[in-house]
């Protein structure tokens, strides 16, 4: 916890009133606190500049180095770098044979990319509701959704908290299903001593700008299966033979073969140069986010909101998102009112997430309706994400606390 920051009160005219009620904003518009701004240091900047000067900007030796470093961090034999976690999910399902006529079970409490990746394979997404406290998919409800068409389970480790993987692994063994883990929030997470993304057949990670480490845009797939890793590499680069990126190297031009109808999902060396140094600092950044998380918990304990559940025993939380749930009954106002009020204080916030089945495209396509996934709906109407970046200064954290306390007072 950050010392000297807590339930402080400001003094002066308008200090205790939120800006939405006519008070003075905590920050000026020119000093707006951006939600999820990454921490970028000189090492990353120097590495990117060196990459630009090298002449090798596209997929090349730095992407290969980054893959090796990430595989070592996760304790897996193979890592395949791609340009997003969406691409990682899509390719993982294709590489495991998911296709038209298949069903893939996932959670309604996720970003649309999870479901869209299933759709892009020609498969049908099937939703199983989440647990209200952990916000992760309920294994018991997953089993209820398994049919003869089910091909895979796609658990999402929400906010940095691992799903309850042992029951899901038991289901996969019992019904001969693949498990593809969506670890976009969970690079550093662990479940009973096992790193997130290493329990399933494949683990998919995000390096988007707001994630725990960033390459601007980017993603990674980890696996121990050499056959799958080779297929992933080829699918990610037009379906060309796996070492096609070397065709312009200093060893001389090499012919390549197109063996799949692939995609343009590869990661550039420019991105990997950033990622190599972000990965080296990931544990330091996690410690800072944990410190901010604990400071928030102490500062908000008396407010009309439900604080995030503490990490479960024998797990490791990645502290990707800090997601209090607004107690709308006690506060007498909606979550969306709180969103607007925080914006008026010039503090950036987010919503993770409106449940997937609440969006018009999915309702029209799959017939999902309000009331089908009550836990996700309850969370989705109340959840709000506060800034939790390691780039936050102590003064930034104090401003978030001041603003949130004023708004919820």
Among 171, 115, 110, 109, which residue's Cα sits nearest to residue 140? 171
Structure tokens at 401: 């606390």
Among 32, 194, 135, 208, which residue's Cα sits nearest to residue 373? 135
Give 268's contacts (C-beta < 8 A, 6+ positions apart).
57, 58, 59, 63, 83
Residue 145 catalytic? no
Q: At what angle do helices 269-280 and 42-54 cross, to 10 degrees?
A: 150
Q: How far apart are CA 167 and CA 343, in angstroms?
A: 41
CA 116, chain centre distance (Å): 15
Query: 179 pairs with which residues across the strands?
Result: 153
Q: Are 71 and 205 within 8 A, CB to CB?
A: no
Task: Tell the burial category of 360 from Cβ atoms under 10 Å away from its Cβ (0-12, 13-18, 19+).
Answer: exposed
Torsion of Cα atoms, 221 then 177 then 321 then 408, to 10°? 160
From 74, 211, 264, 364, active-site residue: 211
Largest Cα separation within the chain, whole Å, is 73
Instruction: Name the residues annotated as catalytic.
Output: 211
């Amino acid at each position: 916890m950050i010392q000297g920051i807590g339930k402080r009160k400001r003094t002066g005219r308008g200090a205790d009133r939120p800006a939405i009620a006519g008070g003075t904003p905590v920050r000026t518009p020119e000093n707006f606190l951006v939600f999820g701004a990454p921490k970028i240091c000189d090492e990353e900047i120097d590495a990117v500049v060196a990459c630009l000067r090298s002449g090798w900007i596209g997929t090349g030796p730095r992407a290969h180095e980054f893959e090796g470093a990430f595989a070592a961090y996760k304790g897996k034999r193979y890592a395949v770098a791609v340009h997003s976690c969406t691409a990682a999910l899509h390719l993982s399902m294709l590489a495991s044979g998911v296709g038209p006529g298949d069903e893939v079970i996932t959670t309604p409490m996720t970003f649309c990319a999870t479901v869209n990746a299933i759709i892009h394979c020609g498969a049908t997404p099937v939703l199983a509701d989440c647990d209200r406290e952990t916000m992760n998919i309920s294994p018991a409800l997953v089993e209820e959704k398994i049919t003869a068409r089910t091909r895979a389970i796609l658990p999402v480790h929400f906010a940095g908290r691992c799903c309850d993987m042992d029951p899901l692994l038991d289901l996969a063994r019992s019904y001969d299903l693949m498990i593809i883990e969506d670890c976009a929030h969970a690079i550093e997470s662990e479940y009973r001593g096992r790193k997130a993304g290493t329990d399933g057949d494949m683990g998919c990670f995000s390096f988007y700008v707001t994630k725990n480490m960033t390459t601007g845009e980017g993603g990674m797939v980890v696996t121990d299966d050499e056959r799958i890793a080779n297929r992933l590499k080829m699918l990610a680069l037009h379906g060309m033979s796996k070492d096609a990126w070397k065709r312009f190297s200093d060893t001389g031009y090499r012919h390549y073969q197109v063996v799949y109808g692939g995609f343009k999902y590869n990661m550039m060396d420019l991105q990997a140069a950033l990622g190599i140094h972000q990965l080296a600092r990931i544990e330091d950044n996690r410690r800072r986010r944990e410190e901010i998380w604990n400071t928030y918990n102490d500062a908000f304990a008396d407010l009309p909101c439900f604080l995030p559940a503490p990490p479960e025993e024998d797990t490791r939380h990645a502290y990707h998102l800090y997601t209090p749930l607004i107690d709308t009954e006690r506060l007498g106002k909606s979550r969306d009112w709180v969103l607007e009020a925080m914006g008026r204080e010039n503090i950036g916030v987010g919503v993770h997430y409106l449940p997937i089945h609440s969006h018009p495209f999915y309702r029209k396509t799959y017939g999902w309706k309000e009331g089908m996934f009550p836990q996700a709906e309850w969370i989705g109407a109340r959840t709000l994400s506060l800034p939790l970046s390691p780039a936050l200064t102590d003064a930034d954290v104090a401003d978030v606390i001041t603003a949130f306390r004023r708004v919820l007072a």
